[in-house]
Amino acid sequence: MHDIRLIRDNPEAFDAGLARRGLEPLSASILAADASLRALQTEMQASLAHRNEASKAIGQAMAKGDKDTAEALKAEVAALKTSLPEQEAAEREQLAALHDTLAALPNLPAADVPEGVDEDGNVEIARWGTPRSFDFAPQEHADFAPALGLDFETAAKMAGARFAFLKGPMARLERALGQFMIDRQTNEAGYTECAAPLLVRDEAAFGTAQLPKFREDLFQTTDGRWLISTSEMSLTNAVREEILPDADLPLRMTALTPCFRSEAGSAGRDTRGYIRQHQFWKVELVSVVRPEDADAELERKTRAAESILEALELPYRRMLLCAGDMGFAARKTYDLEVWLPGQNSYREISSCSNCGDFQARRMNTRFRREGVPAGSHHGSGHHGHGHMTKKGANEFVHTLNGSGLAVGRTLVAVLENYQQADGSVIIPDVLLPYMGGITRLTPTTN
């Protein structure tokens, strides 16, 4: 959600930001609507003031028992009975229209985000690890994993395409990955483990900006709730409509949850294998921070995600997304792409974004900045107010989110990177404590 005041103050910058997103300039029409709305509000408030004044006088006249005066005043205000509701209705309508316009616009890219219209404009920032050299032709997981217990046909019988049924050590391995990740984020990266609702209301989906534009990507329940497409929805909305104490920031939350995506519009993409499913597990990392801390927090968060890949010894690269490829709510995003030898390519496994105050405005999440001692900038001499602290105004927080990591895709990466010539898969060392003695997935013929 955009701040109308920023658009008023600097319409050129706003349009330039939209242009980087590949959108037409809108400041002129927005400002025209804004001016019209404000004129209407001024007019309406004058009517209200008139009415309130008269109503007060009526009350006083009635109190004195002066019925004639009261009746006269009532007649005078009667004219407002038709005009005021009209003004109010028009105001409501214009306000809603302006709100809808602003709510449908994506966040503006940060200054250091590269230009570009699609993924070809993304910039590789760093690369970690060396892809393993195989003495056999590495397979795609979709080809060898079914023999290890990753079963798409069984799932299709009950649920259709884009679902999987995991059996035996394969199911255990996926669970191990999730446990490992959330333990790591909780114990080492300083995130607080949360267990949150998987179904949320409209307001929450609006807050993180899945609504109103992307409803077709979500599943909806019969009672109108939405299945979360990411626990970013549940975690970020934990602070909706809050005024947080300064001392509570930064807030770092993590959760291991299933995610549900309709994958509308991705027909034909990644139809084979476990890359793109309607349901998948993910460890999410959400931060709520002071504005000045957001940039550093994005780096910190991205490192928290990368540390999982490094612990699993999975080669990856860090991409800085270009303006045209970023998600709706983001002002800057790093994607982590893991090496998949079976596909001979890097594939997205995590996305870490700084959303600035974009979601905070939608959720109305603010914090009250602690006052600084007056005169602390000057250092000396000044007293009298020397001990006074000035409470700052409420400010919007900044929010960040990132995957740490997508569990399903990490399973794919482990399978493909740790595959052996005989079709088995060696369990990475860091997962062994979670595997109950299993050290290798071995193919079965059945």
Q: Can you say which residues are annotated as belonging to the binding site?
A: 230-232, 261-263, 284, 348-351, 401, 403
For residue 130, what are the CA distances in angstroms to 55, 338, 339, 368? Answer: 79, 11, 9, 47
111 binds RNA (CB under 7 A): no
- Smallest distance, RNA to C-beta of residue 26, A: 18
| Residue 51 or 240 having the CB closest to RNA | 51
| Alpha carbon of residue 137 to chain centroid | 39
Binding mask 56-85 for RNA (x = CB under 7 A): x-xxx-xx----------x--xx--x---x
H-helix or E-strand spanning residue 143:
helix 141-144
| Residue 81 or 377 having the CB closest to RNA | 81
269 binds RNA (CB under 7 A): no
11: which 2 tokens? Answer: 């319409």
Residue from the set 10, 29, 45, 192 that interacts with RNA by CB under 7 A: 45
| Residue 258 or 327 having the CB closest to RNA | 258
Closest CA to 260 of 243, 278, 248: 278
| Residue 94 or 359 having the CB closest to RNA | 94
| Residue 266 or 389 having the CB closest to RNA | 389
CA atoms of 156 and 153, how far apart (whole Å): 5
38 binds RNA (CB under 7 A): yes
What lies within 8 Å, CB to CB, of 224 at 6+ separation is 201, 202
51 binds RNA (CB under 7 A): yes
Length of the chain measured in residues: 446
CA atoms of 108 and 290, how far apart (whole Å): 19
CB of 315 closer than 8 Å to CB of 338: yes
- Smallest distance, RNA to C-beta of residue 38, A: 4
Site for RNA, residues 84 to 103, rule: CB under 7 A: 85, 92
- DSSP lists the bridge partners of residue 129 as none
Site for RNA, residues 393 to 422, rule: CB under 7 A: 393-394
306: which 2 tokens? Answer: 């990368």
CA atoms of 313 and 348, how far apart (whole Å): 16
Number of chain residues interacting with RNA (CB under 7 A): 32
- Smallest distance, RNA to C-beta of residue 284, A: 23
DSSP state for residue 274 in the 8-state scheme: S
For residue 19, what are the CA distances in angstroms to 74, 102, 198? Answer: 55, 16, 36
Site for RNA, residues 333 to 392, rule: CB under 7 A: 384-385, 387-389
DSSP string computed for 1-36 = ---HHHHHH-HHHHHHHHHHTT----HHHHHHHHHH
42 binds RNA (CB under 7 A): yes
| Residue 190 or 392 having the CB closest to RNA | 392
Residues that bind RNA (CB under 7 A): 4, 38, 41-42, 45-46, 48-49, 51-56, 58-60, 62-63, 74, 77-78, 81, 85, 92, 384-385, 387-389, 393-394
